[in-house]
Amino acid sequence: MHQTILILDFGSQVTQLIARRIRELNVYCEIHPWNKAPELTEAIKRCCFLWSPYSVHQENAPLPDIAKYTGNVPVLGICYGAQLISHLKKGEVIRSTHREYGRAELVSIDHTSPLLHQIPLQSQVWMSHGDTILNAPENAEIICSTEDVTCAGYQLKDEKIYGLQFHPEVYHSVDGAQMLKNFVCGICGCDQDWTPLNYIDETVRQLQEKIGDDTVVMGLSGGVDSTVAAVLLQQAIGSRLHCIFVDNGLLRKNEFQLVLDSYKHLGLNVKGVDASQKFYDALKGLSEPEAKRKAIGRVFIEVFDDESKKEKDATWLGQGTIYPDVIESVSVSGGPSQTIKSHHNVGGLPDYMKLTVIEPLRLLFKDEVRRVGKALRIPADILGRHPFPGPGLGIRILGEVTPEKVRLLQEADYIWTSSLKANDLYDEVWQAGAILLPIQSVGVMGDERTYEQTIALRAVNSTDGMTADWSRLPHDFLAKVSNDIINKVKGVNRVVYDISSKPPATIEWE
DSSP, collapsed to helix, strand or coil, labels residue 99 as strand
Give the model's pLDDT for residue 341. Answer: 45
* pLDDT of 333: 42
Where are the extended beta strands (E) located within 224-292?
241-247, 270-274
Which residues contact residue 369 at a Cβ distance below 8 angstroms, ignoring those fewer than 6 apart? 224, 225, 228, 322, 361
First to last CA, the chain: 41
For position 491, what pLDDT does the model report?
94
**Can you tell me the distance from the alpha carbon of 481 to that of 68, in angstroms, rounded to the nearest whole number?**
59
Q: What is the pLDDT of residue 402?
A: 96
For 407, residues 6+ apart whose C-beta sits below 8 A from its C-beta are none
Q: Could you give the count of Cα atoms lying within 13 Å of 338 in the half-sphere of its Cβ?
A: 7
Q: What was the pLDDT predicted at 14? A: 67
DSSP E strand boundaries for 319-465: 356-358, 431-445, 448-461
- On the question of pLDDT at 505 being above 70, the answer is yes
Q: Which of 289, 339, 323 is nearest to 508 (CA)?
A: 289
- Spatial contact of 47 and 187, defined as CB atoms under 8 Å apart: no
Please, are residues 260 and 220 in contact by the beta-carbon 8 Å criterion? Answer: no
The tally of CA atoms less than 13 A away on the side-chain side of residue 362 is 19
Q: If pLDDT is split at 50, 70 and 90, which confidence band does 175 have?
A: very high
Least confident among 23-32, 81-90, 318-327, 430-439: 318-327
Confidence of residue 253 (pLDDT cuts 50, 70, 90): very high
Residue 44: phi and psi, rounded to 5, are: -75, 115
| The dihedral sign for the CA sequence 316, 345, 406, 227 | negative
Backbone angles phi, psi at 96, to 5 degrees: -70, 145
pLDDT tens digit sequence for 60-94: 788 777 777 777 789 999 988 899 999 988 899 98
Report the C-alpha gap between 362 and 409 in whole angstroms.
31
HSE-up of residue 80 (Cα within 13 Å, Cβ side): 22
For residue 350, the model assigns a pLDDT of 63
The pLDDT value given to residue 31: 81
The strand order across the sheet containing 44-49 reads 28-33, 4-9, 44-49, 75-78, 161-164, 153-156, 140-146, 92-109, 123-135
Residue, of 171 and 324, whose pLDDT is higher: 171
* Mean pLDDT lowest among 63-77, 299-313, 316-330, 368-382: 316-330
Give 458's DSSP letter. Answer: E
Find out whether 396 and 434 touch, Cβ atoms under 8 Å.
yes
Chain mean pLDDT for the chain: 87
Q: Between 350 and 131, whose confidence is greater?
A: 131
Q: What b/e readout covers 130-162, taking b as 16+ CB neighbours within 10 angstroms?
A: bbbbeebbeebebbbbbeebbbbbbbbeeebbb
Please tell me the least confidently modeled range out of 8-17, 120-129, 153-162, 226-235: 8-17
In this predicted structure, the answer to whether residue 36 has a pLDDT above a threshold of 90 is no
Crossing angle of helices 366-375 and 224-237, rounded to 10°: 50
206-239 pLDDT tens trace? 999 999 999 999 988 888 999 999 999 999 999 9
Catalytic residue positions, numbered? 79, 167, 169
Which residues sit opposite 454 in a β-bridge? 494
Average pLDDT over residues 482-488: 97
Q: For 337, which DSSP code?
A: P
**Distance between CA 18 and CA 177 in Å, rounded?**
10
Residue 56 pLDDT exceeds 90: no
Contacts of 80 (CB under 8 A, 6+ apart): 10, 12, 49, 50, 51, 52, 54, 56, 129, 131
Q: If you compute the radius of gyration of the chain from its CA atoms, what whole number of angstroms results?
A: 25
pLDDT, residue 465, reads 78
Return the percentage of the chain with pLDDT > 90, whole number. 54
> Helices 289-308 and 276-283 sit at what angle, rounded to 10 degrees?
150
Longest dimension (CA), the chain: 82
Of 419, 21, 427, whose CA–CA distance to 185 is shortest? 21
Distance CA 383, CA 126 (A): 33
What does the alpha-carbon distance between residue 261 and residue 386 come to, in Å, rounded to a whole number?
18
For residue 256, the SS3 value is helix
**CB neighbourhood size of 509 (10 A):** 18
